[in-house]
Amino acid sequence: MTIQIGVTGWGDHDKLYPDAKARQQKLKTYATHFEVVEVDASFYAIQPISNYTKWVEETPEHFSFIIKAHQDMTGQSRRKMTRSEAASLFEQFLASIQPVVEAGKLAAILFQFPPWFQVEKASIDRLRYIRELTKGLPVAIEFRQQSWYAEEYRERTLSLLRELEFIHTVCDEPQAGSGSVPVVPVATYDQLTLVRFHGRNVHGWNQNGREDWRKVRFLYRYNQTELMEWRKLALALEQSSNRVILLFNNNSGGDASDNAKDMMQLLGQKLPDPPPEQLNLFD
C-alpha cells in the first residue's frame, strides 16, 4: 500500500524550475520532485503518440501519469455525437496513450464530468458505455454535480462505481451550490483511489459574471490544519485501496507544488530518485 503525491500538469509550477536548464526540461525536472502527474493537455486535444513517447522517456521507471479524458468524451464540450462517433473518438484517444500503457506508467484515465452531468438514466447509461469502451483500463470518475452524492443516491452511486470497477475520485473543493461536490472519502476500487485538491475558494468557484473567473477559481493555499485532516483521511483510504494518489490543483496563486510538498512532509515521504542521465559520448 502506498500514497503518492503530485500536481495537475507540470508546465505552470514556476517554483519547481528556478533556472534555465530546469525550464528547458520541465517534465524531467518535475520527476525529481514528484512521482505522479496529471496530464491536462489531453482534455483539450488528443495528443500525438510522439508526445506520450517523449514523456515516457523523460520520466523514471516508477513514474505514473493520470491522463485526463478529452472533453468530448465527458460531454464538457457539449458536442453531440452518435454512438459510432463516440466509439471512434475513444479509439483515437486510447491509441494515442498506448506508449504510457505499454510502459506500465498509466495510473488512470480521468473522466471529469461537467456540472450538468447529473443523476439520470442517460448519465448512468453513459458510464456503462464508457466502461465498455475502456475495458481493461483503469478509469477514474470525477463528478461535479451534487446529485450523485445526495442522500438518496450516494450509496447507489458508489455501488455503481464498484460494479463497473471505476476508481472513485474524491474531491476537496468549495461548497458552492449544485456544481460542486462534498468530500466523500470512500474507495470503490481496491487498486487505486484518486484525491484531487481544488482549493476552497468558494467566492471564485462559480463564474458569477467575473471575467477573471478561470484565473481565480483555484486560488487557495491549504493551511497546516487542513492538510493534517487530509493526512488522516489519506491514511484511512490507504486501508481500503492499495494505492492512493493525491493531486493538488490549487495553482491559481502558485500554491499547488508547495502544498504537495507539505503533504509529503506530513506523511514522512522523501523526494523521488531523479531519472538516470543518458551518457553523452561527445561531452
Q: What DSSP character marks residue 61?
A: T
Q: Residue 208 — pLDDT band, cuts 50, 70, 90?
A: low
Asked whether the CA dihedral 48, 49, 51, 52 is positive or negative, the reply is positive
In the predicted model, is pLDDT for residue 91 greater than 60?
yes
* Radius of gyration of the chain, Cα coordinates, nearest whole angstrom: 19
The dihedral over CA atoms of 202, 204, 207, 212, expressed in degrees to the nearest 10, equals: 180
Per residue in 117-165, pLDDT (tens digit) is 999 999 999 999 999 999 999 999 999 999 999 999 999 999 999 999 9
Q: Is the pLDDT of residue 186 over 90?
A: yes
274 vs 240: which has the higher pLDDT: 240
Report the DSSP beta bridge partners of residue 194. 169, 245
Scanning 45-82, the segments in alpha helix (DSSP H) are 49-57, 71-74
Using CA atoms, how far apart are residues 40 and 10, in angstroms rounded to an integer? 9
Segment 245-249 shows an average pLDDT of: 98
What pLDDT does 279 receive?
42
H helices, E strands: number in the chain: 13, 8
pLDDT in tens, 23-82: 889 999 999 999 999 999 999 999 999 999 999 999 999 999 999 999 999 988 888 888
Question: Which domains occur in the chain, in start order?
Answer: 2-266 (3.20.20.410)
DSSP state of 12: S
Work out the mean pLDDT of the chain and round it to a whole number. 92
